[in-house]
Amino acid sequence: MGDQFIRTEWTDSLERGAMPDSAALRGHLRAVHRDHAGFTESCAMRCRDPAGQTSYEWLAEAVDGDRHRVMLDVACGSGPLLQLCHDTLPGGLRLIGVDMSPDELTLARKRLPPGRVELIEAEAQKLDFLQDESVDVALCHWALTLMDPVIPVLTEMARVVAPGGRFAALVDGPMDAAPGYEAVHDLIYSHVQARLPDYGLRDLGDPRVRDAKSLVTLVEEAFPGSSVRVETRVVSMSGPARTVAEEASGFFYAAFVLSSSAREQMLEDLARLLAGQSSGPATTFNMPVNRIVVEVPERR
């Protein structure tokens, strides 16, 4: 690919100073996952909270192995959450994974036993293949932030989750919850904005999902009468500065619009920043995460 950067209808719109529509967003996400399938898992599996849990393990706690019989993983990607549930929860739990990226689903099929998990290529806004109230627990690992329009996604979750069931999602946490995170974010975006000045002003997904208060409002409207709570944790990874910079940048979709030479310069600057933030011999990257949990009431 030489020094070529990713070019999609979404990035073309930003270059023109226009607002990309939802179709352009989905096309851009498919392109990123086509070229970098599995990148979300690569970073997330290396980040752990102070108790040693990954974000996948934290989200999987929403599944009650004694009570839930059908679990839906929305935007399942390469399948790490499905594999975790397969490995740690009762074998009678029906597992369904949905993703709009055929490249991610290819990876998921390779890791999961044939016939154990139903993997379906679809967009989260339209899950017509699932009947009303057919799912006991629906999970979404760090993808809700990217979805636009997001209200149809929440409406579909409310439709398919049965009374007494649960919906849980991980989304971006508040920047100030994780030491040094905002500086990392700003450094990466400064490099990206050298090519696309409007990147950040117009970001991926619905900005209301990135704010806990507005997200709760959206969820409460989609799930009337349900209880909703938001919890915040910080996950971290440590290692050599360059390695940590490469993994950390991989969690920012913005980094994938850079050319190879621009990405190399960004990684050098990021490794230097992370090393300067760390007090010990190892370089550390901290990332904030929110878990939103919706408890759907039993039918009266």
Digit-coded pLDDT (tens) for 152-207 = 999 999 999 999 999 999 999 999 999 999 999 999 999 999 999 999 888 899 99
What was the pLDDT predicted at 92? 87
Burial of 296 (0-12, 13-18, 19+ CB in 10 A): buried
Rounded-to-integer distance, Cα 230 and Cα 204, Å: 22
Q: What are phi and psi of 186, to 5 degrees?
A: -65, -35
Give the domains, in start order, of the chain with CATH numbers: 9-295 (3.40.50.150)
Q: What are phi and psi of 198, to 5 degrees?
A: -85, -5
- The DSSP bridge pattern shows strands 227-239 and 283-295 to be antiparallel
What was the pLDDT predicted at 114? 84
Nearest Cα neighbor of 287 from 171, 140, 113 is 171
Per-residue confidence band for 91, with pLDDT thresholds at 50, 70 and 90: confident
C-alpha 268: how far from its chain's center? 25
Mean pLDDT, the chain, whole residue set: 94
Provide CB contacts within 8 A for 101, sequence distance 6+: 29, 30, 33, 34, 37, 77, 121
Tell me the pLDDT tens digit for each residue of 9-49: 999 999 999 999 999 999 999 999 999 999 999 889 999 99
> Where does 178-259 have alpha helices with state H?
181-193, 212-222, 241-249
State yes or no: pLDDT of 226 exceeds 70: yes
Per-residue confidence band for 3, with pLDDT thresholds at 50, 70 and 90: low
What was the pLDDT predicted at 199? 93
Rounded-to-integer distance, Cα 158 and Cα 297, Å: 11
Q: How far are the Cα atoms of 98, 154, 172, 296 from residue 124, in angstroms, in the given order?
A: 7, 9, 19, 19
What was the pLDDT predicted at 1? 37
State yes or no: pLDDT of 128 exceeds 60: yes
State yes or no: pLDDT of 131 exceeds 90: yes
